Amino acid sequence: MIEVVAGLILDQSDRLLACKRPEGKHLGGKWEFPGGKVEPDESPEAALIRELEEELSITVELLEPLTPVVWDYGRGPIRLHPFVCRIASGTPHPHEHSEIRWCDRVELQALDWAEADVPILAEWLAR
């Protein structure tokens, strides 16, 4: 099982930051919550803080975990650990995504999400 973390990053207007995977990569063109694989001997929380510094040049404060999702795209199962968080410092600049977008509830539902993110988004929207 590959452990993956993802951040539901909130802004002051309760919008979330959606990130588009670049074309040519696995799931290219799909939208996701930013994050990545947890390294050996790393906690999910530490992994998310590290990944968001690397991918977006922000530091985040983790607020709350949501329900993990197990998914298999045919390359072996991943377990995606979502955390609600907010920016502690910095402004997001995408280093690994083709586009990033702050989205309200309606805008979130209009995006083409990676399949493992669909239950996470549903949990968020049900609140």
Ligand X SMILES: Nc1nc2c([nH]c(=O)n2[C@@H]2O[C@H](COP(=O)(O)OP(=O)(O)OP(=O)(O)O)[C@@H](O)[C@H]2O)c(=O)[nH]1
Rule CB under 6 A: which residues touch ligand X?
A: 4, 6, 25-27, 32-33, 35-37, 71, 78, 80, 114, 116-117
CB of 20 to ligand X, least distance (A): 11
Q: Rounded distance, CA 30 to CA 32, Å?
A: 7
End-to-end CA, the chain: 29
CB of 36 to ligand X, least distance (A): 3
CB 23 within 8 A of CB 8: no
Bridge partners of residue 100, in order along the sequence = 19
Considering beta carbons, is residue 36 or 94 the nearer one to ligand X? 36
Structure tokens at 88: 């502690």
Considering beta carbons, is residue 17 or 87 the nearer one to ligand X? 17
Write the DSSP string, 71-84.
Answer: EESSSSEEEEEEEE
- Helix (H) or strand (E) run with residue 55 in it: helix 44-56
Considering beta carbons, is residue 37 or 105 the nearer one to ligand X? 37
Considering beta carbons, is residue 4 or 16 the nearer one to ligand X? 4
CB of 1 to ligand X, least distance (A): 12
CB of 43 to ligand X, least distance (A): 16
